[in-house]
A = this chain, B = another copy of it.
Amino acid sequence: MSDQRDKILACACDLYLSEGLEGVSMRELARRLGVTAPALYRHYENREHVLADVVRSAYREFAASLYRALEGGTPRERLVRAGEGYLAFALRHPRWYQLLFISPEQLGMPRLPDDIEAMGCGVHQFWVDRVRECQDAGILSAGDPMELSLTMWGHAHGLVSLYHIGHLRMDEATFRREFLRSAVAMMTGLSTPEFANMLRGEYAADHPVEAHG
């Protein structure tokens, strides 16, 4: 029965979300479960395997947040909703987001397990699909959809990452505005000329330039 394994994982997730990676120790885990540390090794080979399962949980939560974008009715709406879901997840669950993009060696493993790498590729594929259908709809310019999605993903992850680290001295509301503005600026370089104009127009209408001097 893997009932206890589930409890360990749930406890490890709680511990990680509240205390960070260093907070997830086998002994503290055991303490919270009313057990001694060696007992955990009945259910998990070692700490590394526990952390790998926490990462898997993070990926599942992340994927769920993204896949809700498929409820959108048009390629454009699905792409926009995917972007919104991405940002929402990154801001609502900073620690989970960071776990998705942490280097394996910080988890104490030389390489990520294959299935976790596959989850990362799955997310990437989701983006490629969103891009491709926007290309088919004439919204994004032609070209390898993987290349376009790479540019978009890199941009989004970079901004979020800089914000989480604290290199950007902004509050969350300001960051949301900057993220949107920056995304629109970047997307105009990836869109068809007509759609780029439309994007600029919509953004200008929604965000009138404030007077300052």
Contacts and interface: CB of A to CB of B under 8 A. Distances in A.
A182 B104 contact: no
Interface residues of A, number: 46
A153 B158 contact: yes
A136 B121 CA distance: 42
Given A124-B167, A151-B155, A190-B185, A161 B106 contact: no
B186 A151 contact: yes
Interface in A139-173: 147-148, 150-151, 153-159, 161-162, 164-169
Counting every copy of the chain, the complex holds: 2
Contacts of A196: 189
A103 interface: yes
11 contacts: A104-B166, A148-B185, A150-B178, A150-B182, A151-B185, A153-B158, A154-B182, A186-B189, A186-B190, A187-B189, A189-B190
